[in-house]
Amino acid sequence: MSESFTKLGINEQLTAALQKANITVPTAIQKQVIPIGLSGKDVIGQSATGTGKTLAYLLPILQKIDATKRENQAIILAPTYELAIQIQRQAEMLIDNGNLEINAAPIIGNVNIARQIEKLREKPHLIIGSSGRILELIQKKKISSQTVKTIVLDEADRLLDDQNVTSVKALIKTTLRDRQIMLFSATITPKTIERSKEFIGEFELIKATGAADVKPDIEHLFVIAEHRDKIEELRKLVRGLNVERGLVFVNKSDEIEIATAKLNFLGLKASGLHGGSEKLDRKKAIEDFRKGKVQLLVASDVAARGLDIVGVDFVFNLAMPDDPQIYLHRVGRTGRAGRSGTAFSIVAPQEKYIIEKLETSLKIKISAKYIANGQVLDSNIRRKPNSFKTKAKVK
């Protein structure tokens, strides 16, 4: 089956590395991007979250690195600590599985810079991290950007927003003009393309079709509650389901602190994950969640980018996403590493149409539940086109 990757131009070492990870069939974005990546052309790629964008650029990068040269050859930029570490892990998986003589180093802000400088003395071929810290180390002449052949912007929409665009452009300007630039995101906006034209040459625009895989071992459920009662409904669910570790999603970053405070007031152990938080605060929130010091981690989609935690048994949608792909990305945080998981959406009456939209688009069944006497029970919700009628089931 690895012939599929071979036909795209991927060499034997890397196809063997993929096989060890049980990756044998390229996704739509990989089929379209890998040949362009290997050719050295600039590319802007758009594909839904979870469709394999990371491997689409990592495979060409690793194949083109000249391991005999001790020099910095590629830089991958990511907007969050978690995403950078996730990319680093993917790179290490390929390097280890393929027995490649390639070094990759994570260089992220708000981490001890002296240790990073020590790592950079080994002249890693691949550098993965944040634009601000990498630019700082280029200016300190600890990273030689003149030898960089490829630059990737992962989640380019975020990297080219008002907060990050200045450092990204400054970093790219330190490199030679003949380098390759690849931009990727689940959403490529006209603004992102316009800003990229300041540093990208003639490029291929790839918009891959296809959605992220729906994991078969995730149970999809929902309950109905008025907006004002959603926090209390979540409390009841956490108690009734004996939740040890649950990820709670809201739609807006400014809702994180409010929801976290309310959950703690109700006696639950909750922590908020803010996209704009200091790296150490984010790290502490995630570590506390991993270690079970808090039951619930509250986040927005932006704040949770790059988050990869094994052992999340429940994902709760406190606010419903209107985009099926966002829903899929959220619920994909559970049911990892061979475990089953549960996705529970708390739906206001006026949001019920979203359930039908998700079922139709993703071809999944989202079962109705209700809470009584501390138990989560099946709800006898009968459906008509675009409407729900609720009748409590007598137990």
Between the CA of residue 383 and those of 107, 369, 379, 380, what are the distances in Å?
A: 52, 14, 12, 10
Q: Is the pLDDT of residue 3 over 70?
A: no
For the chain, where are the alpha helices, taking DSSP H only?
3-7, 12-20, 28-39, 53-64, 81-97, 113-120, 131-139, 156-159, 165-173, 190-196, 230-240, 256-265, 279-290, 324-331, 352-362
Asked if 96 and 72 count as a contact pair (C-beta separation under 8 A), the reply is no
pLDDT-derived band at 13 (thresholds 50, 70, 90) equals very high
Q: What is the mean pLDDT of residues 238-244?
A: 92
pLDDT tens digits for range 130-179: 999 999 999 999 999 999 999 999 999 989 999 899 999 999 999 998 99
Range with lowest mean pLDDT among 198-207, 332-341, 359-368: 332-341
Residue whose pair of structure tokens reads 């049980």 in the numeric block: 22
Cα(23)–Cα(32) distance, integer angstroms: 17
Q: Is the pLDDT of residue 251 over 90?
A: no
| Amino acid 346: pLDDT | 96
Q: What is the mean pLDDT of residues 182-193?
A: 90
Q: Which residues contact 334 (CB under 8 A, 6 or more apart)?
A: 218, 247, 312, 313, 314, 315, 341, 342, 343
Cα-based angle 310, 314, 319 (whole degrees, multiple of 5): 120
Pairing of strands 387-391, 380-384: antiparallel
Spacing of C-alpha 390 from chain mean position: 36
